């Protein structure tokens, strides 16, 4: 079948070209109006690094957990070490099954106060004679110590301390 040139086919072709050009002009206008004249609508084609708005951000307050604020350290067995100043030493009267002392450890946040408000905590520990090698006998209020425990410290209940190290404050100042 051979196509013949006829006025009808010319009219149909002209109308289809007009409709196609209107659709294309409308599409271009839509893109320009939606994205603006000066904006790059295809940033991935021109830039190999992500822009700042593509990088996810986390609010600073969400990152500041108690562990971060108070400077807890964890070892390879996930035991928690906390350094602070002894506020109270409460020896427990000797009993057959429990021998030791209760300690209230004052800890101040390690984050710069200009970045985040300073907080203070008083963690409660139980130090047994057996676990701490009678260290509590030499302990006094205002001593700076590091106490290691299996569980994270709390100010609501006593946590059993496994290891206690006295810090020499004069070494750290120099």
pLDDT digits (tens, 9 = 90+) for 96-144: 667 778 889 999 988 888 888 888 999 999 888 776 666 666 778 888 9
State the pTM of this model.
Answer: 0.60
The whole-number pLDDT of residue 85 equals: 93
Q: What is the distance, to the nearest Å, from the Cα of residue 3 to the centroid of all Cα atoms in its chain?
A: 73
The whole-number pLDDT of residue 174 equals: 41
The whole-number pLDDT of residue 173 equals: 44
* pLDDT over 70 at 170, yes or no: no
Q: How far is CA 101 from CA 28, 92, 106, 108, 161, in A?
A: 79, 5, 16, 22, 10
The whole-number pLDDT of residue 84 equals: 92
* pLDDT band at residue 68 under the 50/70/90 scheme: confident
Q: How far is CA 11 from CA 6, 8, 103, in A?
A: 9, 5, 97
pLDDT digits (tens, 9 = 90+) for 36-47: 665 555 555 555
pLDDT digits (tens, 9 = 90+) for 55-64: 667 676 777 7
The DSSP call for residue 86 is E
The whole-number pLDDT of residue 136 equals: 62
- Mean pLDDT over all residues of the chain? 79
């Amino acid at each position: 079948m051979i196509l013949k040139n006829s006025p009808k086919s010319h009219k149909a072709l002209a109308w289809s070209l007009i409709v196609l050009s209107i659709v294309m002009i409308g599409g271009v206008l839509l893109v320009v109006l939606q994205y603006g004249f000066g904006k790059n609508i295809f940033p991935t084609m021109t830039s190999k690094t992500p822009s700042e708005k593509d990088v996810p951000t986390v609010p600073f307050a969400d990152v500041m957990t108690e562990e971060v604020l108070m400077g807890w350290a964890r070892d390879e067995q996930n035991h928690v070490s906390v350094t602070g100043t002894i506020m109270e030493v409460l020896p427990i009267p000797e009993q057959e099954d429990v021998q030791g002392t209760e300690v209230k450890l004052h800890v101040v946040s390690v984050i710069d106060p200009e970045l985040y408000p300073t907080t203070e905590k008083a963690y409660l520990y139980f130090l047994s004679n057996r676990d701490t090698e009678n260290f509590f006998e030499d302990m006094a209020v205002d001593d700076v110590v590091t106490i290691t425990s299996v569980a994270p410290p709390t100010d609501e209940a006593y946590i059993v301390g496994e290891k206690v190290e006295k810090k020499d404050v004069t070494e750290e100042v120099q």
